[in-house]
Structure 1
């Protein structure tokens, strides 16, 4: 049975310096509150993994938590660049950042292989790009049946997989609905997993198209209402588009970012004491 923990307890127990950590979400259900708690606990030397790192990864990078990013696209959705990410790449501020870039299909297949207990995934992909020359974890293999040349990528198996969902029951089974990405695969591929949820309920009500993660594949659940803000949680709240626009201005300037970090992340910790 998954354990029900407070968010700070879960991060303290599950996320360690030097871990490979995946915080996955697609369009909505992005585990922002969990990312902020990782910053608050001053984790460092993390390998951050995500198909589409957006502003919470910009914040983690700017706070000096990351030494490497494994990804397939990075940006402030609908707005533009991630300026803390860019500063780390171009100027090594606040610490140098190594990157490992893949395609979306490559990353999705890596998660699927990890979730399936396979060492690597095979796909038709990367043709016509220079990614195989830039990324050591893309190889070419020959199909033993047809002789076709295919791309091979290693499985992703994070030390910790973190996602956000709408509901969990008191035994720790999780249900999410709406647009989903590789959240299920992230949990199944990871050595340890944390699911933050909008609410814990007595019983999960079946929903068409929902993804259910049973209690025995989840390490811990934390009830965190609003845990995906400023992204949205279908059925609970809408996306805060203004936040993403404001982040472009905050993220551009180191001093503004550090002020934001002190007020909105570390200040939030002090306000609860």
Structure 2
């Protein structure tokens, strides 16, 4: 009898080469926590271009992808270096078209959530109230008003703002663990990752580790994505650095402070990408450059969760 190998484990190089192409709409999500930085570096190494980058919080990895020439359009609700400073490349591109222009499409955080929800549910739009009275519709024509098909208590039909769906060609996220089949488990700050994945045509998930199938089955409530929603799962230890992975390593706050100075100068930023991304050759080369002392300094103590008894039917 032939056994079918249903494993979705892939190398980072192969996953990016197969599922991310120049010209794609690429969602890279992770809200402060579990940002798939290593995957972004691999996109840079493979020289992909003309990407539309969709990211709720455009941060260091967005700065790097833009500086590397990978991104022509940025769709985001926030631009900043996570309380540590500015993003020099994004500011140069948006404010002065220096050294080249970058198309920037701005939404609010909640608007981006609504767009992902619409995309995941395959809806044509999603309603929201939060921008009423703001000037965002004057700078983004995709905020539009529709009339409710249902009358209110006073008999009138309200006009409400709506936003279009996001349906990326590919979504890339990071999580703590997966089984070999691609059932993805995550805890801590989860953000909009699941919705961003369900909205996409293809999904790549980098994880800290691959675990036995029984571990995933034994703790099903941590599964944020089922196997059928995932195209490739990639074991990438410390794949979120300099962000953090709850229970695995802490946020590298020093790196964020350093980045404010690195990105302030375009030539210095390009030199950093050459040394730390291109010449490092892969993520493990990047970790070697970080060094064991810096990595050990990000270690976290154990904070075990109480086991849960799910119970099961007793055969009669």
**Which TM-score band (shorter chain)?**
over 0.9
**Paired position in structure 1 for 2:269:** 257
Is residue 67–residue 95 contact of structure 1 (8 Å, CA) maintained in 2?
no
Select the residue among 160, 176, 189 that pairs with 1:166: 176
Q: 1:94–1:14: structure 2 CA closer, same or farther, 3 Å change rule?
A: farther
1:49-88 CA-partner distances (Å, limit 9, x unpaired) = 0111111101111111111011111100012321110111
**RMSD of aligned alpha carbons:** 1.6
Please show how residues 1-273 of structure 1 align to structure 2 within 5 Å.
1=6, 3-146=8-151, 147-203=157-213, 204-205=215-216, 206=218, 210-269=222-281
Is residue 183–residue 223 contact of structure 2 (8 Å, CA) maintained in 1?
no
1:167-208 CA-partner distances (Å, limit 9, x unpaired) = 010111110110111100011000001000000011334559
Q: Measure, in 2, the Cα distance between the counterparts of 1:156 and 1:22.
A: 9
**Counterpart of 2:93 in 1: which secondary structure?**
helix
Deviation at 1:236, TM superposition (A): 0.3
Is residue 85–residue 257 contact of structure 2 (8 Å, CA) maintained in 1?
no
1:206-239 CA-partner distances (Å, limit 9, x unpaired) = 5596342111010111110000000000010000
Deviation at 1:125, TM superposition (A): 2.2
Q: Measure, in 2, the Cα distance between the counterparts of 1:35 and 1:268.
A: 14
1:10-56 CA-partner distances (Å, limit 9, x unpaired) = 10111111100011001110000000110111111000001111111
Is residue 2–residue 219 contact of structure 1 (8 Å, CA) maintained in 2?
no
**Number of residue pairs matched?**
272
Question: Which of the two has greater strand per residue?
Answer: 1
**Counterpart of 2:116 in 1: which secondary structure?**
helix
1:93-140 CA-partner distances (Å, limit 9, x unpaired) = 343210111111110010011001111111112112111010121101
Q: Please, what TM-score do these two structures have when normalized by structure 2?
A: 0.83
Is residue 113–residue 155 contact of structure 1 (8 Å, CA) maintained in 2?
yes
5+ residue gaps, structure 2? 1-5, 152-156, 286-316
Q: Measure, in 1, the Cα distance between the counterparts of 2:184 and 2:7.
A: 10
Q: Please, what TM-score do these two structures have when normalized by structure 1?
A: 0.96
Q: 1:124–1:209: structure 2 CA closer, same or farther, 3 Å change rule?
A: farther
Q: After TM superposition, where is structure 1 displaced by more than 2 Å over at least 4 residues in a row? A: 90-95, 203-212
Rg larger in 1 or in 2? 2
5+ residue gaps, structure 1? none
Deviation at 1:92, TM superposition (A): 2.4
